[in-house]
Amino acid sequence: MKHTLIPFSKSARALLFTLTACGAPTVLAAGETPVAAGGFYAEAVDHAAQMAQADPSVQARLDAILAEADSICGLPLVKRAYSLQELRENTDERCGGIDARTFVTEKIYPRKAEIFALSMADTGTAAKIARELPLLAAAYRLTGKAEYAERVEAQLREVLTWQPLQRPGWTLHVPENDLPPSGYDGVWLSTGLGLVALVQTLQIMPEGVLPEDLTAAVKEQLGSEVERIRNDWEKHIPWFVRSHNVVTNQWIVPSGGLVVAAAYLGREAHPEAYDLGIANLTQSMNEMGEDGSAAEGAVYASHWTAPLLYLAARATLEAGDDSLSSSSFLQNFPIWLSGSYQPGGHIINCFDGFTANRGSNVLQVEDITQLAVLSQDPSLIWVLRNIFGPKMQVLNAYGLMALGIPEGAGREPPLYGVYERAAWAVWRDSWREDASGVWVRGGHKTDFHDHNDRGHVNFIVDGKAVLIEAGTPGYDQADKASNFNSVKGHNVLQIDDELFPRRQPAALTVNRLDAEGGDVTVDAGAGYRDGVTEWSYGASPVPDKRLNTVQWQRHVVWDAHEMVVTDRVVLETPGKLTFRWHLGSEQPLAIDEESETDASAHLPAGSMTFRGWNGRKGESTLEGIAWTAPDKDIVPTPEVDLEVGADQPIRVYQEKNFDHTFKFRVIRHEHTTLVVQTREAVTEFELTTVIRSDAQEQ
């Protein structure tokens, strides 16, 4: 018996591999697109079982996944709540949980708060059935255990009552927002995620197991949601359709679900909807570009954007359509995402990455497992096995399917690269955990969920964070903008008291990027000139106060242990300039102001101690992940020497700032920051900063 996995990554080259029962790959001729009996997901599940039969260690991991399926059967069904009080009473979150922003709105508009909470809870319930239903279907497929089929049937009958899959109210995340007069703000994330969950479940379950009336009803629900999405696009109901924001996950997720469902039901059944979905996702990938980088950062891309694109590409490829799977974006995305994982357990976070914290692999492993399975890309397979490793296992259908990926399928990703859409250059000197790493941020016109960070630099030396940024707290945190998003939270320029220059494009020029280091220039002054700021979610433009930068150019040169940053600023009218250097340490600086224009500072080595896992309500691990949290998380911090030299008098001092960088849910961790400020208002200024750290000398 043969089992077909269909990779479409550029690195795989061939359109598919046929995996025999013993796991040996045979490359088919390019252009052939046979579809395995049962489809990709069913065949991947079967192949994982065969790998388990041949390898006791794989069997042990499969047994853990089947045990998770058993535990799900012992839980209440995932159900929809119909009041905020009902959500409060269901503390196990089997009704989807309560979005924290609800409590902010409830103080002002109680009715809006309930509508918003119920709408957001739909996303929670969609996520739960997306995790549970395909796993239960896979467990039944492998064991024939009646309990699994009964649970799938009961949960599907519950989901049939969710009409529509996404209730109105998700646009009320800001208390002042109102629903349209119709009371309907359109399809959203729950729509796309719910459609995928239903289709995967039907595809994995053996034919004839579920009652015919149930299967017919689920297909009818799929068709209804497909036409709902088509109608919402036709009438321009959701905000992202009206503004034609094709790069946001909010456009991509329902579009991806549309394609998955329409392909499953048959292109001829909903031809206009199918073509709309293909057009929508093609626009998204064309707009994001060929280099594989995403406009919302690595966390949003790996959790929402890329999975739905790969899911849609899988569905259309099996329908005989390779228009999505052949895109350069999907072929190159794995390389870009791999580079976002930096040494020392850090992850690049220059967007709203709430889980992009040091050591947060357990928060990322579910997404990486899903992407490795869907893409079959060697880089993501390598990342899954070497960065996430055997210390944690995802106990869902993707974790099961990942067991079937053959040994030797992974390949170490590149060490460096520059990306237009994400607007960053990234570098590391090896893939060791104690390597050195750098990222430098520019800015793109389509940046979304972004911060006031043009020109920011991050520096890790021998696995220890030297230069950091503030990170991202939850959306419900009142100081998210002032302490985290603003220039105060980044290693960038501040003029006078202005914390929010416009988030404008900033050209990133790579003069050199190689195994030894890099030489990059960022032109980041555009955001400090006159103009308007457009709020990320498409609100009306807001006039800025007058800002007067003519030019701010930052030149960054580095190797594994030293970075030299030269800043040149030209103003139209005099202004006081401030530069911050956020350091990955709690230790105080010893500062020596050697002259009016020169100073040095020494940061001693140290360590920071956190709890091993910051669980909620006494939890010690994460749902659906086999992982043992350490009792303590001890983070060694580096010894650093800094030297600053300016062409005009400066004041050099230290302050403490907040970060959500080192530990998940420690959102106001205090770190040391070196501040360099002109003593007087200036019109021209040049500053050179040298940052040096060498663990071998410590």
574 confidence band (pLDDT: 50, 70, 90): very high
Q: What is the mean pLDDT of residues 644-672?
A: 96
133 and 256 share one domain = yes
Backbone phi and psi for residue 187, each to the nearest 5 degrees, phi listed first: -65, 160
Q: In Å, what is the CA distance from 83 to each residue of 95, 97, 191, 233, 534?
A: 11, 12, 20, 29, 34
Whichever domain contains 617, its CATH number is 2.70.98.70
Residue 7 located in a structural domain: no
Looking at residue 577, its pLDDT comes to 97
Q: What is the pLDDT of residues 118-135, one digit of tens each?
A: 999 999 999 999 999 999
Looking at residue 476, its pLDDT comes to 84
688 and 567 share one domain = yes
Q: What is the mean pLDDT of residues 295-307?
A: 91
Looking at residue 10, its pLDDT comes to 39
Domain-ending residue, one of 295, 320, 344:
344
Q: What is the mean pLDDT of residues 46-54?
A: 95
38 confidence band (pLDDT: 50, 70, 90): low
Looking at residue 696, its pLDDT comes to 55
Residue 6 located in a structural domain: no
Whichever domain contains 280, its CATH number is 1.50.10.100
209 and 332 share one domain = yes
461 and 335 share one domain = no
532 and 651 share one domain = yes
237 burial class (0-12, 13-18, 19+ CB within 10 angstroms)?
middle
CA distance 114 to 179: 13
Looking at residue 616, its pLDDT comes to 63
Looking at residue 34, its pLDDT comes to 31
Looking at residue 170, its pLDDT comes to 97
Q: How many structural domains does the chain have? A: 2
Residue 358 located in a structural domain: no
Residue 386 located in a structural domain: no
Q: What is the pLDDT of residues 55-107, one digit of tens each?
A: 999 999 999 999 999 999 999 999 999 999 999 999 888 999 999 999 999 99
220 and 309 share one domain = yes
* Length of the chain measured in residues: 698
CA distance 321 to 427: 37
614 and 513 share one domain = yes
Residue 172 located in a structural domain: yes
CA distance 278 to 325: 11
Domain-ending residue, one of 344, 371, 399:
344
CB within 8 A of 207, min separation 6: which ones? none
Of 226-240, 363-377, 536-550, 591-605, the poorest mean pLDDT is in: 536-550
CA distance 589 to 484: 22
581 confidence band (pLDDT: 50, 70, 90): very high
pLDDT above 90 as % of the chain: 80
300 and 425 share one domain = no
Of 3-7, 239-243, 486-490, 645-649, the poorest mean pLDDT is in: 3-7
Of 292-296, 548-552, 624-628, the poorest mean pLDDT is in: 548-552
Q: What is the pLDDT of residues 443-479, one digit of tens each?
A: 998 888 889 999 999 999 999 999 999 999 988 898 9
pLDDT above 70 as % of the chain: 90
- pLDDT reading at 692 higher than 80: yes
476 and 594 share one domain = yes
319 and 425 share one domain = no
622 confidence band (pLDDT: 50, 70, 90): confident
118 and 203 share one domain = yes
Q: Which of 622, 625, 621, 623 is nearest to 393 (CA)?
A: 625
243 burial class (0-12, 13-18, 19+ CB within 10 angstroms)?
middle
The alpha carbon of residue 281 and the mean position of all alpha carbons in its chain are separated, in whole angstroms, by: 18
Residue 17 located in a structural domain: no
What DSSP line would sit under 402-422, residue for residue?
Answer: HTTSPTT---PPPSEEEETTT
550 confidence band (pLDDT: 50, 70, 90): confident
CB 226 within 8 A of CB 258: yes
Q: What is the pLDDT of residues 127-156, one digit of tens each?
A: 999 999 999 999 999 999 999 999 999 999
Residue 398 located in a structural domain: no
- pLDDT reading at 565 higher than 90: yes
Residue 112 domain boundaries? 55-344
pTM here is: 0.89
Cis peptide before 164, with omega less than 30 degrees from 0? yes
The alpha carbon of residue 297 and the mean position of all alpha carbons in its chain are separated, in whole angstroms, by: 6
CB 575 within 8 A of CB 681: yes
- Which residues on neighbouring strands pair with residue 632, listed in sequence order? 611
Q: What is the pLDDT of residues 375-417, one digit of tens each?
A: 999 999 999 999 988 789 999 999 999 999 998 999 999 999 9
Residue 405 located in a structural domain: no
695 confidence band (pLDDT: 50, 70, 90): low
Looking at residue 528, its pLDDT comes to 85
Q: What is the pLDDT of residues 504-546, one digit of tens each?
A: 899 999 999 999 999 999 999 998 865 434 333 333 344 444 4
E strand segments, 135-198: none
Q: In Å, what is the CA distance from 351 to each residue of 199, 291, 416, 469, 551?
A: 32, 18, 20, 11, 24
Looking at residue 629, its pLDDT comes to 85
Looking at residue 326, its pLDDT comes to 94
618 confidence band (pLDDT: 50, 70, 90): very low
CB within 8 A of 409, min separation 6: which ones? 376, 378, 381
434 and 583 share one domain = yes
Domain-ending residue, one of 289, 321, 344:
344
Q: What is the pLDDT of residues 334-382, one digit of tens each?
A: 999 999 999 999 999 988 888 899 988 888 999 999 999 999 999 999 9
CA distance 358 to 344: 7
The pLDDT mean for the chain works out to 90
